[in-house]
Chain A
């Protein structure tokens, strides 16, 4: 049961400001994932909470108490790194028990704590082994075990499964989530992998250039991205973004892609909703691949387009459609568009369209 609060924290590395005033409140038992590209403050923020890095301004509060002046060891926070950092000459058991050495617990208490953690992580059969005899996944389980054994106030993880291969990552993702549900520990997890973020987080904190871009549940950041950065960072394949212009014709709104003479039809309501929100050509349309609707036959309201590249992914296909000078990626049933070069018909689902101000990148908050 731990609350963590960041109040206007700032951090400079020389001239470079890696954290530009970050405010964040993390509640009891929350699983927070900090997501963003490498080198833009998320790792530094995590390390600052742990006390592995100092901050230049602001407060870090744990359960209401400012801790920015406390040493890492006095904050009662456990940290799991990407590199496993186990002691090679100790057994798994000794590695997990290690953090309890300084706590003056009895042998029986230590034994109970180690076995309990091993049980949760399903590594009991490995307790007598040395780290060199373990697989990558098991090593990381041991590292997590070592972090948990002290029952810390909070668990911080820095890309803990980033070094593992894809299949194992998928498996470990599930384990980490279940572990969190069992332990009910406040957890902050840093990654640049949006799939990890989406599948693990109660709330995702998206950081770029030292600034929090958006905080929200996975549903919120996916369905209502605050700006173009979030829109294109979350989701795979990335959201299509194109600079568009909107015109009125025969009582409907039409959205024109760059260098395209034909537009996509939208309800006329779009015109009034966009009115005054952006100047002239500063409008961007964002549409996820599943929001591009594709038909094989001519249909009312659909534009004829050419399919360029088809990526079959088994459960579905991603098809690149040429519209004017722009490529729109669409998600279709597998095999729906038989071959590249084929002419198909496409439209944009108004309910899934996002509009952004091109200059600021901010969402205009217009949803139909």
Chain B
């Protein structure tokens, strides 16, 4: 079990800067998710902690000890990758035993047997133990890979998109299993993904990376409800938060005069009057109902069973709204909508930074 700290870490590959001044603290027993697109620096961060890369600047600490000079083995961290990296000709049992049979570790045979049995039980792969790994499904293989990490009892689990190669149903099932596993083990997890659903559903905390910079760290509900800037606002939620440009006039949000004006809940102080802003509103906080103040044309209806997602066009503004699956609505129909003024987030029109975070 361990606490991880990155202090002002910068990593350059030649002329390219992969990470810029990263400060990050992961508490003991925390499930921390780094969320970002390809090239944002997620995998680099993971490799730095694992000891597979050295930082260009800054320090990496595990339980307070500066490990920057330590090799990967000394750091005692386990890495689980998207590709399974199992030995195909070995059975599941042999694959699980393998990391413990290394000469440096010198684990007693009874101890090996016990740890392998416990890992198999935790991951529910007991029935597969004598099967060769090339005869397993993707989900089973990924469970064995995780098992190989568990048996070592590492101080930290580092996971690099371990679910990305699996199909949707399996991802959904393994998401819960992984979260359960982390709670059972009480272990520190650093989990890297580009999938916002994984980040939201599994993380105790999420760090959002944008081109090598950590933009925001927070609990899932903080990231979702109080994004630091428009980048974070777009990174979580499906469909993403609606972002519309406009101004505040007499305490009201005006996107297009006479066409699209909605109330704000007194959150816009006089200082922002007239300044270019971006209003952020989540699709579930738009209410489509007769008599609401703004008229829109329905551009698209997606029926997801539990709810419908409407694409609305008001003037030249496109908005997504989530409504009940029972609502009868067709493409090209005219509807009216309002928003929940409590839920509107105001961003600066130029910097994109939320006014709540700007002070």
B197 beta carbon closer than 8 Å to chain A: yes
Check: A219 CB closer than 8 A to any chain B CB: yes
Q: Chain B's nearest CB lies how many Å from the CB of A291?
A: 10
Compute how far the CA of A198 lies from the CA of B322 in the bound complex, rounded to whole angstroms: 15
In the complex, what residues of A have CB within 8 A of residue B172's CB?
A: 236-238
Contact with B along A310-343 (1 / 0, CB 8 A): 0111111010100000000001001100001000
Query: Which of A37, A193, A198, A335 is within 8 Å of B303, CB to CB?
Result: A198
Cβ B237 vs Cβ A181 within 8 A = no
> Cβ of B282 < 8 Å from any Cβ of A?
yes
Question: A237: nearest residue on chain B (CB-CB)?
Answer: B172
Q: Give residues in B with beta carbon < 8 Å to A.
A: 37-38, 167-169, 172, 175-176, 179-180, 183, 194-197, 200-202, 220-221, 224-225, 236-240, 282-284, 299-300, 302-306, 309, 311, 322, 325, 331
What is the minimal beta-carbon distance from B157 to any residue of chain A, in angstroms? 18
Beta-carbon nearest neighbor of A166 in chain B: B195
Rounded to whole Å, the gap between the CB of A159 and the closest CB of chain B is 12
A309 to B352 alpha-carbon distance, docked (Å): 35
Residue contact A198 to B305, C-beta cutoff 8 Å: yes
Residues in A60-114 with C-beta less than 8 Å from chain B = none
From the candidates B37, B201, B239, name the one contacting A318 in the complex (CB within 8 A).
B201
Does A331 lie within 8 Å of B306, measured CB to CB? yes
User: In the complex, A236 Cα to B167 Cα: how many Å?
Assistant: 13
Q: How far is the CA of A331 from the CA of B322 in the complex (A)?
A: 15
Q: How far is the CB of A5 from chain B (nearest CB, A)?
A: 26
Q: Which residue of A is nearest B285, CB measured?
A: A315
Q: How far is the CB of A190 from chain B (nearest CB, A)?
A: 14
Binding site for B on A (CB under 8 A): 37-38, 165-167, 170, 173-174, 177-178, 181, 192-195, 198-199, 218-219, 222-223, 233-238, 288-290, 308-309, 311-316, 318, 320, 331, 334-335, 340
The 9 closest A-B pairs by CB, nearest first: A222-B305, A199-B302, A311-B201, A314-B224, A315-B284, A218-B303, A312-B220, A314-B237, A290-B306
Nearest-CB residue, chain B, relative to A314: B224
**Cβ-defined contact, A194 with B168, below 8 A:** yes
Q: Which of B224, B299, B304 has the most CB of A within 10 A?
A: B304
Pairs across A and B, CB under 8 Å, 17 listed: A37-B167, A167-B240, A170-B239, A178-B299, A192-B167, A198-B303, A219-B303, A219-B325, A222-B305, A222-B325, A233-B169, A236-B168, A308-B180, A309-B180, A312-B201, A315-B283, A334-B221
CA of A316 to CA of B224, assembled, Å:
11
Considering the chains assembled together, what is the distance between the CA atoms of A64 and B142 in angstroms?
49
A177 vs B302: C-alpha distance in the bound complex, in angstroms?
A: 10
In chain A, what residue has the closest Cβ to B176?
A309
Name the one of A167, A174, A192, A223 contacting B300, with C-beta atoms under 8 angstroms.
Answer: A174
Contact A314 B236, CB 8 Å, known A166-B195, A181-B331, A198-B303:
yes
- Contact partner of B311 (CB less than 8 A), chosen from A174, A320, A331, is A174
Chain B residues, Cβ within 8 Å of A181 = 331
B306 in contact with A314 (CB, 8 Å): no
Q: Which residues from A are CB-within-8-Å of B196?
A: 166
What residues of chain A lie closer than 8 Å to B284, measured between beta carbons?
A: 315-316
B34 to chain A, nearest CB (A): 16
Query: Which residues does chain B contribute within 8 Å of A223, judged by CB atoms?
Result: 305
Complex contact A218–B221 (CB within 8 A): no
Known: A198-B302, A199-B302. A193 touches B220 (CB 8 A): no
| Complex Cα gap A313–B303 (Å) | 19
B301 to chain A: closest residue by CB:
A199
Which A residues touch B304, using CB under 8 A?
A: 195, 198-199
Indicate if the CB atoms of A320 and B237 lie closer than 8 Å: no
Q: Point out which of B37, B195, B306 has the most chain A C-beta atoms below 10 A from its C-beta.
A: B306
**8 Å CB contact of A312 from B180, B200, B331:** B200
Closest to B173 in A: A238
Complex CA–CA separation, A164 to B283 (angstroms): 23
Contact between chains at B176 and A311 (CB < 8 Å) = yes
Partner of B176, one of A37, A199, A320: A320
- CA A235 – CA B183 in complex, angstroms? 27
B300 to A177, Cβ gap below 8 A? yes
A311 adjacent to B175 (CB under 8 Å): yes
Residue of B nearest to A38 (CB): B167
Chain B residue at minimal CB-CB distance from A308: B180
CB distance from B284 to the nearest CB of A (A): 5
In the bound complex, residues from chain B placing their C-beta under 8 Å from that of A236 are 168, 172
How far apart sit A181 and B311, CA to CA, in the bound complex (Å)?
A: 15
Known: A165-B194, A193-B168, A195-B304. 19 other contacts (CB 8 A): A37-B167, A178-B299, A198-B302, A199-B309, A218-B303, A218-B305, A289-B306, A311-B200, A311-B201, A312-B224, A313-B197, A314-B220, A314-B221, A314-B236, A314-B237, A315-B283, A315-B322, A318-B201, A334-B221
